[in-house]
C-alpha cells in the first residue's frame, strides 16, 4: 500500500527553490524553469502545485496564463515526477488538483502539449482526463538533446482540456471513455512487423466515417534505443496521418490500448459535449 501524499499550492521563493531542485532530479539539469520565472507566473495568473511525501516534494505541475481568440486559458507547461514515484498515480492527481484550482480562479480551459508517440502520456491525457486534440505542431521545440527527445523532431499534440465538459466530469468520477465500437473503426494508419518491430503502413484515407484509428507504437523510447530510423518513420507517418485527419474535421478523443506492441489513437468527428 502506497503512503498517502498531500498536495500544496506553492507560492513562496523558498517553495519555488524546492520545485527547481525537483526539476533537476526529474530532467537532469536540462530544460529547467527557474525560481524567477515560477514566481512571476504565480503572481500573474499561473500556478505551481507540488505533491509531497514525508515533507519532501516528489512531483509538481506548473501552468501560466495564456490568451487566444479573445479568451484566457491556463497553459499547463510542465509536469514532472521523481523517478522512484512514477507509478504512484501522482501525475493524474496533480492534473485534477490543477483543474480544481483553475476553475476556482476563473478558467474554463487548459492546454498543454505532449509528444504524440508517447502513449503513456496519451493514456493519461485522453483516457483518464478526457482531453482532446485537434492540432498537430511540427518541431515545436526545435532540436532537443535530452534523453527523451534526442534524435527526433520535437513534434507535439496540443491537448485541449475543457474543464467543465461532461466527458471531463465523467473521468473525474471514474467513468471510462472506452467504447465498444472503437475497435471497428477503419485504420488510416496501420502497421506490419519488420524485423520483429512494428513499421507504419498508410492506408487509403477513410474520411467519410464516424471514427478512424491511427496506429502508434506502445513503447517509442525502447524503439528509439534499438531502431532510431524506424522511430523516425513513425514520427513522419503519424504526422502526415494526423494532419490529414484534422483537416477533415476529426479530433483525437482516446487511445485504444492493445496487448500487442502497437496501440491506436481514436479519432472522431466533433465529439463536443461527450
**Mean pLDDT calculated for residue range 62-88:** 95
CATH of domain 5-173: 3.40.630.30
* 2 pLDDT higher than 90: no
The number of CA neighbours under 13 Å toward the Cβ of 96 is 16
Sequential DSSP letters for 182-235:
GGGSPEEEEEEEETTEEEEEE----TTSSEEEEEEES-HHHHHHH-HHHHHHHH
Q: Check residue 1 and give its pLDDT.
A: 60
| pTM summary value | 0.91
Write down the pLDDT at residue 178.
66
What does 230-263 look like in DSSP terms, one character per residue?
HHHHHHHHHHHHHHHHHHTTEEEEEEE--SSSEE
Note the pLDDT of residue 161.
98
> Is pLDDT above 60 for 147?
no
Distance CA 129, CA 126 (A): 6
Residues 122-129 have a mean pLDDT of: 96
User: Which of 52-56, 99-103, 141-145 has the lowest average pLDDT?
Assistant: 141-145
Element spanning 102, H or E: helix 90-105
C-alpha angle 97-99-103 in degrees, rounded to nearest 5: 120
Pull the grid cell for residue 160.
485541449
In whole angstroms, what is the distance from residue 94 CA to residue 78 CA? 11
Percent of the chain with pLDDT over 70: 92
Q: Do the strands 109-114 and 71-81 form a parallel or antiparallel pair, or are they unpaired?
A: parallel
Q: What is the pLDDT of residues 174-208, one digit of tens each?
A: 887 667 789 899 999 999 998 888 999 998 866 67
Rounded average pLDDT over 34-45? 97
In the chain, where are the structural domains located? 5-173, 185-269
What DSSP element (H or E) covers 104?
helix 90-105
Amino acid at each position: 500500500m502506497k503512503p498517502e501524499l498531500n498536495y500544496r499550492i506553492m507560492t513562496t521563493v523558498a517553495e519555488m527553490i524546492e520545485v527547481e531542485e525537483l526539476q533537476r532530479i526529474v530532467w537532469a539539469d536540462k530544460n529547467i524553469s527557474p525560481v524567477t520565472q515560477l514566481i512571476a507566473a504565480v503572481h500573474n495568473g499561473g500556478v505551481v502545485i507540488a505533491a509531497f511525501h514525508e515533507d519532501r516534494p516528489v512531483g509538481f505541475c506548473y501552468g501560466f496564463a495564456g490568451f487566444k481568440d479573445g479568451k484566457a486559458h491556463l497553459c499547463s507547461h510542465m509536469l514532472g515526477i521523481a523517478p522512484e514515484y512514477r507509478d504512484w498515480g501522482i501525475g493524474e492527481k496533480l492534473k485534477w488538483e490543477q483543474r480544481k484550482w483553475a476553475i476556482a480562479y476563473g478558467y474554463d480551459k487548459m492546454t498543454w502539449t505532449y509528444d504524440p508517440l508517447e502513449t503513456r502520456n496519451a493514456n493519461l491525457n485522453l483516457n483518464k482526463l478526457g482531453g482532446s486534440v485537434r492540432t498537430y505542431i511540427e518541431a515545436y521545440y526545435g532540436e532537443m538533446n535530452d534523453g527523451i527527445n534526442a534524435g527526433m523532431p520535437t513534434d507535439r499534440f496540443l491537448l485541449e482540456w475543457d474543464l467543465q465538459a461532461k466527458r471531463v466530469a465523467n473521468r473525474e468520477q471514474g467513468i471510462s471513455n472506452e467504447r465498444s465500437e472503437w475497435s471497428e473503426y477503419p485504420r488510416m494508419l496501420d502497421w506490419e512487423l519488420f524485423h520483429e518491430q512494428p513499421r507504419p503502413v498508410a492506408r487509403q484515407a477513410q474520411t467519410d466515417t464516424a471514427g478512424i484509428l491511427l496506429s502508434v507504437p506502445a513503447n517509442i523510447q525502447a524503439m528509439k534505443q534499438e531502431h532510431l530510423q524506424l522511430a523516425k518513420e513513425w514520427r513522419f507517418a503519424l504526422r502526415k496521418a494526423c494532419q490529414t485527419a484534422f483537416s477533415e474535421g476529426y479530433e483525437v478523443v482516446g487511445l485504444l490500448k492493445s496487448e500487442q506492441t502497437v496501440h491506436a489513437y481514436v479519432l472522431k468527428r466533433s465529439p463536443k459535449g461527450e
